[in-house]
Structure 1
Amino acid sequence: MAQRHPDTAAATPVGLTADGLPGRDAGSVLEQYLRDQATGFLRALAPREGEPGRPQDDSAEAGRLMRRSARRIAGALHTYGSLTDPAWADPLRAELGWLSSTLGREHQYAARMARLITALQRLASAEEAAGTAAASQADDELSLWLPASGEREGPAADHPQAAAEPVSADRTNGTGTAEALRDPSARTAPGTEALTGTARAATGRRTPAPSPAAAERGTGTGPLAVGAARAGALLERQLTLARTRAHSAALQAMGSSRFHAVVDAVALLASEVPLTPAAHQPAEAVLPLLAEQSHARLNEAAGDLALARARHPYNADALYAALATELVAERQDVPWNRVRVLLRLRRYAQEVFPYDDVEPTARLTAAARVLEQHREAAEAAAAVTAAARTPRIAPATAYALGVLHADQRLEVEAARYAFAHLWSR
């Protein structure tokens, strides 16, 4: 994406449109957008309040719609805050941020647990598949030096009659092992099953590959597969506990007077919005400048990122920082998270006042999706780090958690690589 540094003193900046704005003031355009978002917020609230005729099993979808409307209202008040009464808009924006984070925490823990468990299964299955492939290659190389199936070697091959001659028990120290080896149809004595299986495997029969179901579960005998089950159980236990606490906090927030005060303030948006005298100016003279200021803040924050380094694949900056200290990794993720928030605000500002072309919108949406994946991977890696601090965990469990942590930090690096190429277009 081409970075632009607009002159805020100019008229309508290049790339913005004023279609539909002539004859309207800035306050009316902002009121229409806030009214639509407030209506969506109140509609999403209806199933939670038990409105008759509405299904009660869509609370997750209703919560998502409520968070979506709350974020957009807060974003519009942030970008176009100079058009509204700050004594009313600033507290409402803060309360909407609290509500969105409180209601979304349970969903984030559930998605994080699914992400980590899936990653563990993928890594363990990949290790098992690699081990099976290596064993098959070793069998192929070994078969070049072994006799074909049905052939015999040694004295038995030179004297077939001796091979068919029964061997007495006193010649085998009473175990009958030699007779069992010479005559496959003979009765196998106790303790010879492992030896017979080894001889059978050496004649060219490969060890069967694990079933798809076992590979999907990540069961195997590799170093990672041994600790993956315990690591998955540890992560599931900790994240389930965090999710339960987040669910309780959301229920407590939904029944608090603070929540009802937010609902009353949002309901006010459906009827009227407290505006300042600046909102009565022409929309084509005010909204483009405010929207472009939001884009300028985004460009400035993106310029502080190490995009030149991120354009190189496998630079391992994210992984090396995570292996150094946790504080370094957190500081490294902070500027990327700031760009993610500013990019979200820019997208919401663009919904109030759109661009001429649809392509910048598509690029903003793609970049926002990549940075959201960056946030999810970074927070998942932090959850793995917290689980690794559990006292008295087994070495195999610690090994599996370490591999999982490195995998998530590489996902962070991949997201930075994708964003760097998107932003430099």
Structure 2
Amino acid sequence: MAQQHHDLTDSAAGPAAPPVTGEALAGYLRGQATDFLRALRLHRETGGGPSGSGGGTADAVDAARALRRSARRISASLHTFRPLLDPGWSEEIRPELAWLSGTLALEHACESRLDRLLLALHRLSGATTVPTQTLGTGTGTGTGTNTGAGTAVSATAATAATTATTTTQRTAPRPTPDRGNLTVGAAKAGALLDRQLTLARTRAHSTALQALGSSRFHAVADKVAVLASEVPLAPHAATTDPRPLAAAAEERLADAVAALPLVTAGHPYNAEALIHGLSPDPAPHPQDAPWHQVRLLLRLHRYALEVLHGDDAPPGVRLLSAGQALDRHRDASEAAAAAAHAARTPRIAPATAYALGVLHADQRHEVEAARYAFQRSWQKQTIGTGTS
């Protein structure tokens, strides 16, 4: 299908704006650097953990989120508008900010993934309580298991569940698994997921704490502190219009969207997202990478609009809803991968493997639904305003 052209600069539409120069970028970067330092001060005052339940108050969680937010925006702006900046300085700090943002996001991601999977198990099994570690010993192996079969048993049972769910998807809006068999394994599947993801979250928490106390982080903070007062612009930046660079970011996004299989995504319950089933290969699902790339490019485009029109200028409804759909796609994809990883646990009981297989298929359904939502929002012609 030919990709329709859209005015991606939703919030830019309207009366002619005054001339824009590199000073707009400098003001934006100073503002983000100030927000970064403010969040860092709050984080140190609260003494909380980097991102969540592992260690601190709500203020500490908000401070860590604000740190990530500012680090992402500074790094993205340095990427999009790098011809307007001192190249040596820009290339030195940009990957460090990306490292910091990614490190601080890991704990929150593990926590959100666990919540998502346990709630999905609760919904699929019809259990009266959400599966947690209190429902089992945390071993996840069960009884009556053919331990010699190991991973082969879990992969076979989980693949069978995925295949059965895929078949029903074409004729029903949501597959209905065998609740009897699923309930048997749901508690142990929940306990296994809880143990694995809680361990991952604890490690991420420790990693973030180490990062925030490292000389590497202090070097980043020092550079951001300088940025709050002095932006190292290139000599020609003061008279250069940054809008062509923002337009180039928009064009990269449009090209990436045009390469997506939007025709397939436009048909609900097409089962395309499950076509590979539960592969024994632990590599990321091959279909997901282009969608993840579009999500990153959409974020770069939104941040470029903030530079041009101010941090307070909201994106259009279409951009906002498209971004939400891609966030949902990412979350469901990673949750499905976590379920698949748990299903590869050696000496797992068949009932537990079955529950994990159904869970994996359910999250791949969510991937498909997110693609459909993105396709619908992207093709909308009506442009409105929204909130960031």
Q: Same fold (TM over 0.5)?
A: yes
**1:244/1:410 CA distance change after superposition, 3 Å:** same
2:236 maps to a residue whose letter is A
1:345 maps to a residue whose letter is L
**1:240/1:325 CA distance change after superposition, 3 Å:** closer
1:281 maps to a residue whose letter is T
Q: Could you list the runs of 4 or more consecutive aligned residues of structure 1 that deviate by over 4 angstroms after TM superposition? A: 12-20, 324-329
Contact residue 22 and residue 242 of structure 2 kept, 8 A: no
Contact residue 302 and residue 315 of structure 2 kept, 8 A: no
**1:422/1:327 CA distance change after superposition, 3 Å:** farther
**1:221/1:301 CA distance change after superposition, 3 Å:** closer
Q: In structure 2, how many angstroms separate the alpha carbons of the residues matched to 1:420 and 1:71?
A: 26
Which residue does the alignment assign to 1:21? 18
1:362 maps to a residue whose letter is V
Contact residue 107 and residue 202 of structure 2 kept, 8 A: yes
Which residue does the alignment assign to 2:188? 230
Which residue does the alignment assign to 1:399? 354
Shift of 1:329: 6.0
Which residue does the alignment assign to 2:257? 302
Contact residue 224 and residue 399 of structure 1 kept, 8 A: yes
Q: Percent identity?
A: 55
1:129-177 alpha-carbon deviations (Å, 9 max, x no partner): xxxxxxxxxxxxxxxxxxxxxxxxxxxxxxxxxxxxxxxxxxxxxxxxx
Pairing 1:373-392 to 2, within 5 Å after superposition: 373-392=328-347
Q: In structure 1, how many angstroms separate the alpha carbons of the residues matched to 2:272 and 2:128?
A: 25
Shift of 1:274: 0.7
Equivalent of 2:269 in 295, 314, 327 = 314
Which residue does the alignment assign to 1:180? none
Equivalent of 1:265 in 205, 208, 223 = 223
2:224 maps to a residue whose letter is V
Shift of 1:14: 12
Q: In structure 2, how many angstroms separate the alpha carbons of the residues matched to 1:407 and 1:221?
A: 14
Contact residue 96 and residue 262 of structure 1 kept, 8 A: yes
The answer as to 2:11 corresponding to 1:3 is no
TM-score, normalised to structure 2, is 0.76
Which residue does the alignment assign to 1:38? 33
Which residue does the alignment assign to 1:423? 378
Q: In structure 2, how many angstroms separate the alpha carbons of the residues matched to 1:51 and 1:312?
A: 49
1:48-98 alpha-carbon deviations (Å, 9 max, x no partner): 32389xxx7221111001000110111111111110011011221100100
Q: In structure 2, how many angstroms separate the alpha carbons of the residues matched to 1:391 and 1:257?
A: 40
1:218-256 alpha-carbon deviations (Å, 9 max, x no partner): xx9811111000000000000000000000000000110
User: 3-state DSSP class of the match of 1:312?
Assistant: coil
**1:310/1:328 CA distance change after superposition, 3 Å:** farther
Q: In structure 2, how many angstroms separate the alpha carbons of the residues matched to 1:253 and 1:354?
A: 34
Unpaired stretches in structure 2, ≥5 consecutive residues: 48-55, 130-177, 381-388
**1:392/1:298 CA distance change after superposition, 3 Å:** same
Q: In structure 2, how many angstroms separate the alpha carbons of the residues matched to 1:402 and 1:245?
A: 26
Which residue does the alignment assign to 1:70? 71
Q: In structure 2, how many angstroms separate the alpha carbons of the residues matched to 1:345 and 1:255?
A: 29
1:35 maps to a residue whose letter is R
Shift of 1:126: 7.8
The answer as to 2:230 corresponding to 1:275 is no
TM-score, normalised to structure 1, is 0.70
1:228 maps to a residue whose letter is A
User: 3-state DSSP class of the match of 1:331?
Assistant: coil
2:42 maps to a residue whose letter is P
**1:238/1:318 CA distance change after superposition, 3 Å:** same
Contact residue 113 and residue 236 of structure 1 kept, 8 A: yes
Contact residue 5 and residue 296 of structure 1 kept, 8 A: no
Shift of 1:103: 0.6
Shift of 1:122: 0.6
Unpaired stretches in structure 1, ≥5 consecutive residues: 7-11, 129-219
Which residue does the alignment assign to 1:184? none
Pairing 1:11-410 to 2, within 5 Å after superposition: 21-22=18-19, 26-50=21-45, 57=57, 58-125=59-126, 222-282=180-240, 286-323=241-278, 326=281, 330-354=285-309, 361-410=316-365
Q: In structure 2, how many angstroms separate the alpha carbons of the residues matched to 1:292 and 1:26?
A: 14
Q: In structure 2, how many angstroms separate the alpha carbons of the residues matched to 1:45 and 1:339?
A: 30
1:98 maps to a residue whose letter is W
Contact residue 34 and residue 73 of structure 1 kept, 8 A: yes
User: 3-state DSSP class of the match of 1:416?
Assistant: helix
Q: In structure 1, how many angstroms separate the alpha carbons of the residues matched to 2:37 and 2:291?
A: 33
Shift of 1:20: 5.5
Q: Which has the larger radius of gyration?
A: 1
Shift of 1:268: 1.0
Contact residue 93 and residue 223 of structure 2 kept, 8 A: yes
Q: In structure 1, how many angstroms separate the alpha carbons of the residues matched to 2:203 and 2:342?
A: 17
Number of residue pairs matched by the alignment: 319
Q: In structure 1, how many angstroms separate the alpha carbons of the residues matched to 2:325 and 2:239?
A: 37
Q: In structure 2, how many angstroms separate the alpha carbons of the residues matched to 1:233 and 1:79?
A: 44
1:37 maps to a residue whose letter is Q
